[in-house]
Amino acid sequence: MSDSDATTELVITRIFDAPRELVYRAFTDPDQISAWFGPVGWSVPRDSVEVEAKVGGHQRFTMVNDADPAQTSPVETTFVEVVENELLVGEEDVSALPDFAGDVMRMRLEFHDEPGGRTRLVLTQGPFSREVVEQARAGWGSSFTKLDKTLG
């Protein structure tokens, strides 16, 4: 296997200055998803968001490039594990998308209490090719900056 064929998981840990229930809700409430999701320069129209936060349920929405609304990125995840205010695990079929290292991308979001009413979020996502993982890290970092403002 060449180095460009290697795969990796993205792991990000971030502390949010908000209680765990509010951070969890930011990932499951359609109004909140449309308010923060997507890196800077992208938005999520509220009418594109559907969430059914239960095992077998889904999270669907479309990110739209602010500068070129013809450029879109649909997301359609099926939840395989859900523990309210603690855990969201979803899988997305990415077999038709270029630059992904597998047919299914898995995302795990763990929500942990931190002192002072804060929340530690641990995001694990992949598999990604090594070339794409850093783009994903930057995208999440930008999105989480928007989430900080939404929670604040």
H or E stretch at 57: none
Q: Using pLDDT thresholds of 50, 70 and 90, give the confidence band for residue 2.
A: very low
2 part of a folded domain: no
Counting the structural domains of the chain, the total is 1
**Residues of the domain holding 24:** 8-151
Flag whether 116 is in a domain.
yes
For 53-78, the pLDDT digits (tens) are 999 999 999 999 999 999 999 999 99
Reply yes or no on whether the pLDDT at 139 is more than 80: yes
Task: Judge whether residue 4 has pLDDT over 70.
Answer: no
- Percent of the chain topping pLDDT 90: 78
Q: Is residue 66 part of a domain?
A: yes
Domain-located, residue 3: no
Q: Give the number of other CB atoms < 10 A from CB of residue 53.
A: 17
Within 10 angstroms of residue 152's Cβ, the number of other Cβ atoms is 8
| CB contact at 8 A, 7 and 136 | no
Please state the separation of Cα 4 from the chain's center in Å.
24
- Look at residue 107 and tell me whether its pLDDT is greater than 90: yes
Question: Which of 85-89, 131-135, 142-146 shows the lowest per-residue confidence on average (mean pLDDT)?
Answer: 131-135
144, pLDDT greater than 60? yes
**Residues near 9 by beta carbon (within 8 Å), at least 6 away in sequence:** 124, 125, 126, 127, 128, 133
String of DSSP letters for 58-108:
EEEEEEEESS-TT-EEEEEEEEEEEETTTEEEEEEE-TTSTTBSSSEEEEE
- 101: CATH: 3.30.530.20
